[in-house]
Structure 1
Amino acid sequence: MMNRYSVNEFVEATKQQDKGEGLFELETPRLLEINLDNQVWAKTGAMISYRGKIKFEREGILEHGIGKMFKKAFSGEGTALMKATGNGKLYLADQGKKISILQLNGESIYVSGNDILAFEPSLDWDIKLMKKIAGVLSGGLFNIRLEGHGMVAITSHYEPLTLLVTPHNPVYTDPNATVAWSGDLQPEFVADVSFKTFVGRGSGDSLQMKFTGNGFVVVQPYEEGRSSDDS
């Protein structure tokens, strides 16, 4: 019993392990290890530790696909990604959110700006500003469209749920609980005035995202921006 709760036991139980899974490796469900040998895109501020020679550069992502008229208005969103370049091990996390790794094999996916953690530079990407709901979303003014071959790591508060969308069965979601959706879906924003009566929150509560077509939508059991209410 002398070894119970010993420092050695703790180190043994929690120490980093190489699982041989390649570039992206889930060290724990909430901590991503990147075995970096060139370059990767990551959410600014997500680095919690690294070893090796890695250089970090902030990137003004709004310069990559949105007119200059938006750049000034949303400059706070303009540094949401950083470039990590070099060789070593990079550890990323985002507020203890659960991490999911997706290997894209030619598909495309949209990810909310709140929920992108990292992706390979081999993927084509573009920023899409969600102007219609800029006043509704808590910091999620933009989403990122990724396409091609490579890995992307996304985050969700708690376990994500994926809902299949078919032409005869559209899916409606709360914008603040929407994590990602398949690239062939185009959400439209619909207002349901009666819905506001049940929620009893601000003016944006009645706005929903409606997905139609063939594909999937990923949601989380949490609304971004509600943490101040929870604390």
Structure 2
Amino acid sequence: MSFFTLDEYVEKTRQVDRGQGLFELETPRMLELNLGGPGLASQAWIKMGTMVGYTGQVKFTREGIMEQGVGNLLKKAVSGEGARLTRAEGVGRVYLADNAKKVTVLKLNGEALFVNGNDVLAFESNIRNEIRMMKKLTGVLAGGLFNVRLEGDGLLAITSHYDPVTLLVEPGRPVYTDPNATVAWSASLQPELKTDVSLKTFFGRGSGDSIQMRFDGSGFVLIQPFEEVYFQAG
């Protein structure tokens, strides 16, 4: 059995400034926001409920009722806490984590990306966001009720259970995914929900999940090795 003295443990686990900028991975499962430092932005959007600690003078403001317009307001009312945002603003360090999920930081260069609403952790304030709803009722049953379209220039942090895998989508070669395991996809793709319900499914002997997302065209889909249930009907 190994053990540490208190001094050894503090030294082993203490926060270290890696000089990575506004978004810094403190650990694979914890994101550090360096707000208001030299040349760094003083604010960012974070997923509500993900702040686990902070230092300095930082103010947290829940997203205003009309912040993103009436359309987004109504969608947020349906989509639940997973799509709710908080503005972190000031000078200091903010530490974010979401159920010990793995954090990935992406850099958007005028591009757009769809992310499952529950997997958005943080993004720079100049990145535009819009909630998109699944059009069919099966989206509610599958748990893939809503997603967020993020577009612009800046940093974006997303989460996944364990290490995600990217599947390439090519013309004539559609990709099918479980909605509860789908993390993100390129904005060039418009997924459709596909149902495959049979008596075997009801008896627990189906050959696969009864509700799937189908991606056609050119792009990519990010999936995780875990089926996370975001919403349950009834």
TM-score relative to the length of structure 2:
0.84
Question: For 1:184, what is the secondary structure of its paired residue?
Answer: coil
Aligned to 2:28: 29
Aligned to 1:129: 133
Report how far residue 75 of structure 1 moved.
7.0
2:69 and 2:30 map into 1 onto residues whose CA distance is 30
1:42 and 1:141 map into 2 onto residues whose CA distance is 20
TM-score relative to the length of structure 1:
0.86
Is the CA contact 1:125–1:144 (under 8 Å) kept in the aligned structure 2? Answer: yes
Question: For 1:119, what is the secondary structure of its paired residue?
Answer: strand
Structure 1 segments (4+ residues) deviating >2 Å: 60-73, 75-79, 193-201
Note closer, same or farther for the CA distance 1:74–1:63 as it changes in structure 2 (3 Å cut).
Answer: farther
Report how far residue 46 of structure 1 moved.
0.2
Question: For 1:135, what is the secondary structure of its paired residue?
Answer: helix
Aligned to 1:188: 192
Report how far residue 174 of structure 1 moved.
0.5
Report how far residue 200 of structure 1 moved.
2.5
Report how far residue 177 of structure 1 moved.
0.6
Aligned to 1:116: 120
Note closer, same or farther for the CA distance 1:73–1:99 as it changes in structure 2 (3 Å cut).
Answer: closer
Question: For 1:136, what is the secondary structure of its paired residue?
Answer: helix
Note closer, same or farther for the CA distance 1:53–1:224 as it changes in structure 2 (3 Å cut).
Answer: same
Aligned to 2:151: 147
Task: Name the amino acid aligned to 1:25.
Answer: E
Q: Deviation per CA, 1:107-129, whole angstroms, max 9, x where unpaired?
A: 11001011000000111211112
Q: Deviation per CA, 1:175-227, whole angstroms, max 9, x where unpaired?
A: 111000011111011112259629939xxx5111001111110011111129x
CA RMSD of aligned residues (A): 2.8
Is the CA contact 1:108–1:183 (under 8 Å) kept in the aligned structure 2? Answer: yes
Note closer, same or farther for the CA distance 1:25–1:128 as it changes in structure 2 (3 Å cut).
Answer: same
1:93 and 1:174 map into 2 onto residues whose CA distance is 24
> Which residues of 2 match residues 92-103 of structure 1 at below 5 A?
92-103=96-107
2:87 and 2:33 map into 1 onto residues whose CA distance is 13
2:157 and 2:73 map into 1 onto residues whose CA distance is 30
> Which residues of 2 match residues 5-20 of structure 1 at below 5 A?
5-20=4-19
Is the CA contact 2:169–2:215 (under 8 Å) kept in the aligned structure 1? Answer: yes
Aligned to 2:167: 163
Is the CA contact 2:76–2:131 (under 8 Å) kept in the aligned structure 1? Answer: no
1:199 and 1:120 map into 2 onto residues whose CA distance is 47
Structure 1: 5+ residue stretches without partners: 227-231
Query: Number of aligned pairs?
Result: 221
